[in-house]
Every structure is written in structure tokens, then in C-alpha cells.
């Protein structure tokens, strides 16, 4: 029992040290990362809808310690939506996140503004790029922390000295990055055919300026750049209500790599409106994804008209499951995507006659 407690305590100290000490800390991430699009790739700005708004919430490691809680929100819009004949789409977006970790309440708040342009290659293909600029703020409650030197070999003893030296308990930083995205869409032959195909490929680089990111060393530790690459799609089955929505996502940041792969199965209860074309239909999706070496993720999603509600749960399979007992993270998002253009007509990137 004592050995188990010691092992759990050491694992928690490792997690805590990574979050506090240096640039080894990872960025926030969501298991439903395709529905936190500006965290995945800034070039997603303006790609899906004339107006898109999303909120995300994630809580994890509740079984191990004080839960890690992450909140995200984004809004993006096309700037030249009302212009009927155009060669591309200009878009702007804002992205916000707040993450609080552990007993010491290590809090990271970030906000960014994204500027993008999607070139319409033909009615089925677009290629786009975007840059972002923003700022972040981190702070820590040093009085609430538990430190490795305060473990006496058997128990935690708050009377022992921490042995830690901090140069600051809060700081702010500037942040810049960029991304590219390509999309191919083959549209349905007719409204109920369900034979459309869509593939999206993206690559992005975050934190190009490598900002200072440590509470301990203000000159030597910088936030690693994060590189993100993904491929996802929607594959409809002819003359049936079923589709697949596969995806693979890769993140690299310093010494850390993450691969998330899987697929949704999607069922259409109600097809698009054949009269107006404005009703997107009603869909229920179930998905299973795997994050390499870490967790299996079960996802479910309901799409109704312009709204999408998604829920996921991570089942931990890493070495941390000794403490977590397999309980990983719960996540939920809500997305609103305006189907109609500002002038009241249907709008999709890639259909030049409609945008």
C-alpha cells in the first residue's frame, strides 16, 4: 500500500513539475479537436460557414487529484460573404482558452486573432492560409502547492521546506503562428443521394516566436513550437443514410508527440430541405478514437439544423491508470454554424456560384 502511494505521489509530482517548471509543458488539447478548429489550425478560420461559434469544456484526472479544467471558445466569420463573384474568401476569427491545473491552480489564459484567406481553385477545391497573433498569461498559487521535497518517504508533510525557488508567480507573453489547409468536396448528385465526399488536410505551426514560459527560469526556458498536421473527411454511402467521418491528427511539441486516430459512424434521420436547401438535416454520430499510448475515446454527436452538440469520454490506458483507474477526461462542445449567407442564400466554400 505504501509503495503504491509512493508511486502515485511521484507520478503526480512529475505531472506537476512539467506544468510548472519549464517549456516542456504541452499546449491545451481537446479529444474532439476537430471541433476546436482554431486550436488545431488557424487556417480553419472561415472554412466551414459564413459564421461559426464554438464553446468547449474539458475536465480530466478527477480520480487522481484536483481536476484539470479547460475551457475554450472561438468565433470566426467571412468578410466578403456578400460578394457573389469572388476568387477567394477573406476571414477573421478570435480564439480564447483558459486552463486550470491541480491544487496549485496553475492557470493559463490565452487569446488570439486569426486572419485567413481561402483561394477557390474550382467549385470543388480550396486552399487557404492564415496567421494569428495573440497573448497569454500564466499564474500559480505557490501557497497551495505540494512539492516533492515535502514527501518524507511515507507521507506528505506540509511543514517540510519546499526546496523550490521561483522568480515569479505570474507573467504574460506574446504569441504568433500560421497554418495551411486544403479541402476537396464532391457534392451530392441530388439532395437524397448521400454520395458526397469531403477531405480536409492541414498543417500548422504555433508559437513561432518561442515565448518565455517558466515560473522558474525567465531567460532559458521557452515554449516549444507546436506542429499540427491532420487529415479528416466525410464519406457518404450511396442511397443510404449512413456516412463515415474518419480522421487522424498528429501533434508534435518539443519532446512530446501525440497521434489521435479513429472514425465516427454517422446516421441521417432527416435529410436536407429539398425546397430551401437551408436545413442541414438531423444526424446522430458515434465514434471511437485512440490516442497513442494514452487513451481510448468514445464520442457521440448530435447535429440539428445549424447546431452540433458533442460529448466524449477518455478511458485512460497509460501507466497513470494505476492512479486514475482508467478514468480520464469528460468533454463537451456546442457549435453553431450559420448555414445561410448574410444575404439569406446557402453558402459553402468551394461552390463558387453560392459564395
**Nearest alpha-carbon partner for 200 in 20, 350, 32, 18:** 350
**pLDDT score recorded for residue 169:** 77
Q: How many residues does the chain have?
A: 355
**pLDDT score recorded for residue 85:** 72
168-206 residue pLDDT tens:
778 899 999 999 999 999 876 555 667 789 999 999 999
**pLDDT score recorded for residue 27:** 85
Give the predicted TM-score (pTM) of the model.
0.82
pLDDT tens per residue across all 355 residues of the chain: 444 444 444 444 444 443 444 434 578 889 999 999 999 999 999 999 999 999 999 998 665 566 789 999 999 999 987 777 779 999 999 999 999 887 677 889 999 999 999 999 998 999 999 999 999 999 887 666 666 666 767 777 666 666 666 777 788 999 999 999 999 998 765 556 677 899 999 999 999 999 987 777 666 678 899 999 999 999 988 888 899 999 999 999 999 899 999 999 999 887 665 444 455 678 999 999 999 988 999 999 999 989 999 999 999 887 665 545 556 789 999 999 987 644 334 444 544 334 3
Q: Are 24 and 255 in contact (CB under 8 A)?
A: yes
**Nearest alpha-carbon partner for 26 in 95, 101, 135:** 101
Joined together, the cell numbers standing for residue 274 give 429539398
Architecture of domain 2-163+170-337: Beta Barrel (2.40)
SS3 content of the chain, % helix, strand, coil (to 5): 10, 50, 40
Instruction: Tell me the pairing of strands 327-337 and 106-122.
Output: unpaired
Torsion angle of the four alpha carbons 213, 110, 99, 210, in this order, in degrees rounded to the nearest 10? -30
CA distances from 351 to 40, 252, 327, 347, 348 (A): 24, 34, 44, 8, 6
Amino acid at each position: 500500500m505504501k509503495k503504491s502511494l509512493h508511486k502515485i505521489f511521484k507520478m503526480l509530482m512529475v505531472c506537476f513539475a512539467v506544468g510548472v517548471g519549464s517549456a516542456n509543458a504541452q499546449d491545451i488539447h481537446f479529444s474532439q479537436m476537430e471541433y476546436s478548429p482554431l486550436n488545431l489550425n488557424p487556417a480553419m478560420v472561415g472554412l466551414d460557414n459564413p459564421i461559426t461559434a464554438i464553446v468547449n469544456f474539458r475536465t480530466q484526472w478527477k480520480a487522481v487529484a484536483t481536476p484539470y479544467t479547460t475551457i475554450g471558445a472561438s468565433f470566426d466569420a467571412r468578410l466578403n460573404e456578400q460578394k457573389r463573384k469572388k476568387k477567394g474568401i477573406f476571414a477573421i476569427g478570435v480564439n480564447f482558452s483558459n486552463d486550470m491545473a491541480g491544487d496549485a491552480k496553475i492557470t493559463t489564459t490565452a487569446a488570439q486573432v486569426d486572419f485567413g484567406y481561402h483561394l477557390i481553385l474550382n467549385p470543388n477545391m480550396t486552399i487557404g492560409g492564415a496567421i494569428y497573433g495573440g497573448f497569454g498569461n500564466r499564474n500559480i498559487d505557490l501557497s497551495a502547492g505540494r512539492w516533492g521535497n515535502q514527501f518524507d518517504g511515507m507521507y506528505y508533510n506540509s511543514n517540510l521546506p519546499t526546496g523550490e525557488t521561483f522568480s515569479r508567480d505570474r507573467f504574460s507573453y506574446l504569441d504568433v503562428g500560421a497554418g495551411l489547409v486544403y479541402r476537396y468536396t464532391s457534392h451530392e448528385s441530388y439532395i437524397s443521394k448521400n454520395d458526397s465526399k469531403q477531405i480536409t488536410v492541414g498543417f500548422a505551426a504555433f508559437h513561432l516566436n518561442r515565448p518565455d514560459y517558466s515560473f522558474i527560469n525567465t531567460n532559458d526556458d521557452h515554449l516549444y513550437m507546436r506542429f499540427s498536421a491532420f487529415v479528416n473527411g466525410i464519406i457518404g454511402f450511396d442511397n443510404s443514410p449512413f456516412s463515415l467521418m474518419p480522421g487522424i491528427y498528429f501533434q508534435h511539441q518539443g519532446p512530446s508527440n501525440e497521434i489521435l486516430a479513429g472514425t465516427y459512424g454517422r446516421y441521417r434521420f432527416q435529410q436536407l430541405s429539398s425546397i430551401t436547401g437551408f436545413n442541414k438535416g438531423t444526424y446522430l454520430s458515434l465514434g471511437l478514437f485512440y490516442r497513442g499510448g494514452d487513451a481510448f475515446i468514445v464520442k457521440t454527436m448530435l447535429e440539428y439544423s445549424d447546431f452540433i452538440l458533442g460529448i466524449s469520454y477518455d478511458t485512460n490506458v497509460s501507466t497513470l491508470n494505476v492512479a486514475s483507474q482508467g478514468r480520464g477526461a469528460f468533454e463537451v462542445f456546442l457549435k453553431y454554424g450559420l448555414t445561410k449567407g448574410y444575404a439569406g442564400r446557402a453558402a459553402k466554400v468551394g461552390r463558387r456560384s453560392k459564395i
